[in-house]
Amino acid sequence: MISKELILMKKAIAASLAAVVSITSLASSATAESMDDLQQKQAQSESKIDGLEEKLAELQKNMEVKKKELEGIQVELDKTDGHIKETQAKIETIKQEITVLLGEMEKTKKELDKKKVILAKNVRLMYVEGNASMMEYLFSTDDPSKILYRFQSLNYVAKANKQLFDEVREQVDKLKSQKKALDERKEVQEKQKAALQTLRNTQEGQKQDQLKVIGELAKLEESLHDDINQEKAVMDGIESQIAAESQRLAEERQRYSEQNPGADAPPNPTVG
């Protein structure tokens, strides 16, 4: 007959074992919830990093496009600068030609002044005393040969005066025409230079706009890198927590096995 004390002892031992199993199950359940939370946070962090890296890749692609556009603008800007330099060189050449021409005009003017003096003297000889004096000069002799000679002389002087006058006018007109042509060429080049300068200003504005956009994209790129690094740091922290929790669960299972030889292991959450 089993004694009353033995029965009571068995009941106490059974109650103790039941309490241990109940406490272990509760602890495992609480751990399972904690691990699930960590794994959910890990998945959310991974998703966030993927999204940030996708944005970063798209931004970097856009930056490459803008840099290519900037390179194209710079090429056109360099071409325009080259055209401006060529045009300025042409302007300087024309200015030099004008300077040379002005020197020739001054030299010719002095020669013309001399010819004008001669012309004035000839004119005075012919007209200082009027047509009456010319008639008196012609017919102041009865010798026909002298009259003819005097007529020829007057005719020669008249022709010489006309030739001299034509030469003076021709030289003046020629120099004026050359000066006008050079002035027109210079004006054309000045207008071309002004148009090129306007184009350059436009291109420079486009360049500055592109640089501004690229600068803003670079700041955004830096910000995304910071966000990614921060999120990776969060991920590292979560992974460390998961590793620690996994270690704790393994140690708990080991202790349970040692305390309950041959018993089933307590339920535990899936470890990521």
Nearest to 267 by CA among 42, 30, 34, 18: 30
Nearest to 104 by CA among 177, 190, 160: 177
Calculate what percentage of the chain has a pLDDT beyond 90: 27
Q: Determine the pLDDT at residue 116.
A: 72
Q: How far is 63 from 215, CA to CA, in rounded Å?
A: 9
**What is the 3-state secondary structure of the chain?**
CCCHHHHHHHHHHHHHHHHHHHHHHHHHHHHHHHHHHHHHHHHHHHHHHHHHHHHHHHHHHHHHHHHHHHHHHHHHHHHHHHHHHHHHHHHHHHHHHHHHHHHHHHHHHHHHHHHHHHHHHHHHHHHCCHHHHHHHHHHCCCCHHHHHHHHHHHHHHHHHHHHHHHHHHHHHHHHHHHHHHHHHHHHHHHHHHHHHHHHHHHHHHHHHHHHHHHHHHHHHHHHHHHHHHHHHHHHHHHHHHHHHHHHHHHHHHHHHHHHCCCCCCCCCCCCC
Task: Say if CB 235 and CB 42 are below 8 A apart.
Answer: yes
Q: How far is 12 from 190, CA to CA, in rounded Å?
A: 114
- Residue 226 pLDDT exceeds 90: yes
Q: Determine the pLDDT at residue 263.
A: 64
- Residue 143 pLDDT exceeds 60: yes
Mean pLDDT, the chain, as a whole number?
78
- Residue 24 pLDDT exceeds 60: no
Summarised one tens digit per residue, pLDDT across range 69-113 is 999 999 999 999 999 999 999 889 988 988 888 888 788 778 778
Task: Say if CB 91 and CB 187 are below 8 A apart.
Answer: no
- Residue 139 pLDDT exceeds 70: no
Q: How far is 224 from 59, CA to CA, in rounded Å?
A: 10
Q: What confidence tier does 126 reach under pLDDT thresholds 50, 70, 90?
A: low
Summarised one tens digit per residue, pLDDT across range 235-270 is 899 899 999 888 988 888 888 888 887 666 555 544
- Residue 39 pLDDT exceeds 60: yes
Q: What confidence tier does 123 reach under pLDDT thresholds 50, 70, 90?
A: low
Q: Determine the pLDDT at residue 164.
A: 76
